A and B are shown apart, each in its own frame.
Chain A
Amino acid sequence: MIIAERKPIDELKGFIAEAKKVLVVGCRGCVTVCNAGGTKEVGLLASLLRLDCEKEGRQVQVDEHTLERQCDPEYIDELLELVEKKYDAILSMACSVGPQFIAARYPDQNVFPSLNTLFIGGALKHGAWAERCQGCGNCVIHRFGGLCPIARCAKSLQNGPCGGSAGGICEISKDVECVWHLITTKMMETGRAETDFVPVQPMKDWSSSRDGGPRTIIREDLVK
């Protein structure tokens, strides 16, 4: 899923500094699962903003609404009734796709991103998430024992490890495991180092990644 976290409250306060009516919009997709922008987080942010405005002596109405998803136009349409109430600011608590879709659908609205979208990843445990994919567009993890060197190596090395790997730890931080240490260890432990492990990986074609520009998929069996 897409992992995101809420922006610092000071930055959000800046977004609504001049506003009298604010709408906080959540998303029941990825950001609900990673506890960043679901119904609960919408409630917390709206409450914090209401309290802060009261503290500043400002009369500001902060409303809350959560959509099924903010990355689908059919759900963005649901906001029409609310948008007609003329909000001075709409704070989207989705990944950055959400505020873009809302801004595109309602061009006269002031839409602000309330989250910082961080990465594609998964939960290590409750409350902890880690990056596992960079969306390179051509998955090759089967070559590396199910571990992704593109997402998990600081240099995205296809042929590692580099000289910055020491004791299984990456030189960038003592908290970051060297994925190439994990890959080689796993390959040796499972007896696949000699048979399945291609010693030198061919050059990767990055045109399927961001290097090829913004990507679009059109499914002919689905598109109308």
Chain B
Amino acid sequence: MPDTNLLSVRDLKIEATSYPPGEQPKRITIVDGVSFDLQKGKVLGLIGESGAGKSTIGLSALAYGRGGAEITGGEVKLDGTDILKLGKGGIRKLRGARICYVAQSAAAAFNPAHRLGDQVIEATVKHGLMSKQEARRRALYLFQVLGLPSPESFGDRFPHQVSGGQLQRAMTAMALCSNPDLIVFDEPTTALDVTTQIDVLAAIKQAIEETDTAALYITHDLAVVAQISDDIMVLRHGKTVEYGPVQQIIETPTQDYTRALVNVRQTAREEAADQSNPLLKVDNVSAEYSNGFKVLHGVSLHLCKGQTLAIVGESGSGKSTLARVITGLLPPSEGKITFEGKPLTPALKNRPRDDLRRIQLIYQMADTAMNPRQTVREIIGRPLTFYYGLRGAKKTARVKELLEQIEMGNGFIDRYPAELSGGQKQRVAIARALAAKPELILCDEPTSALDPLVAEGILKLLMKLQEEQQLSYVFITHDIAIVKAIADSVAVMHRGRLVRFGPKSQTLSPPFDDYTDLLLKSVPEMELGWLEKVLATRRMESAGN
């Protein structure tokens, strides 16, 4: 049988040497025994949580090991030639010419010192595939296909002059410029807002179809990969869990892990019936930065005891700023905030200690919110000493009790943050907030940096704690699915203004305002053909206008 595969990977094994502090260096296997085939013009989705080895596999198609990863076994055949045996010069001729790469963060992957247009055509020209003029014409064509604004002059801009979504499309243009056979997309939409993500997804899908390029599409979002792939490979701990056509994986998964990924949002609760007795009341609050830039415009909302208020919106909508205003980190320029009927002092430094204790914060990046040189005992113990004056054995007992509450054992008490997983770190951050025995916890995207199954665990924990301790949450997120699952009331924010606020059932049902409508429709759904459907509706609407 003749080999019709463009890319054929067999028994791939990738290893790296890790240097744990204070121990002997050890070999770790990142990817083990992975095999797949990719035909011309097809898209294979690689999906899994972080550390599953999906990016590493994607980069192996360029014979590249990131950060000391080495391909130590198996073969990667492009049109029947094993590219692992090509040597440095041979592989350089392929990279940027026949195989291209689209990075997760285009903002970091573009060189800040050069114009976008020069970077887009650089590889194509350097590999001698086109003259400079031809490459420029091709870049212009690609900027048009990808829907970039004023495509004629787009290439003259520097990376810092365009938005994140535009950069991601420019990166796709850079990959497509040389007419490659294969493109590796490494989480190209993960860092984008949902409303931007859908445009980039559509642009990528159209560009792939138009140019008949094959692609490896790496993501942790099954709903996204379902829109764009022909086949899906589910990975975990560097091994293949399940590999098959997209329809089979989404509709009839055979493995438990895949089933868990498909059905990840099972947490759901009914909203509270009585939302009339507010604990926190934000009344016509505006805020501005010290340079006079206004970030919040007359926001009013409230939250009842023991309930959850979800604030949704894209980046730059002012949702985190609102949390900073509530904590007093950024005092409001107008309006007032009342807590249990009493007005809160606007600025943090003037607040009585007991008011500080009653409102706690959990951050998106547990990593950066903890001192890496303190153990879990010190991290959780600090508020115990600060608010309650606990020391010695009493403090240790309380830390253990808190560890129990966050479903982590005593064994973690002397660990450092670096020795914890992402989910465990977020749990410790929750315990630190709980240590103050607060009434209100502001959760600023606490799960958005986590893998879906881990995030699910954190959400369940937060809901359990709410039930046990009558906690109230302000939950900031851009993920509508989470809002649907956990909120009692919902506030939608856009460009510093409150677009919509009310009980969940009311806010998330029609009739919608334009922005909420766009936001809700942009959330990828685990349904084949969802993207086409949305795009078709959009076309009809714009034709109707």
Q: Do A and B come from one complex?
A: no
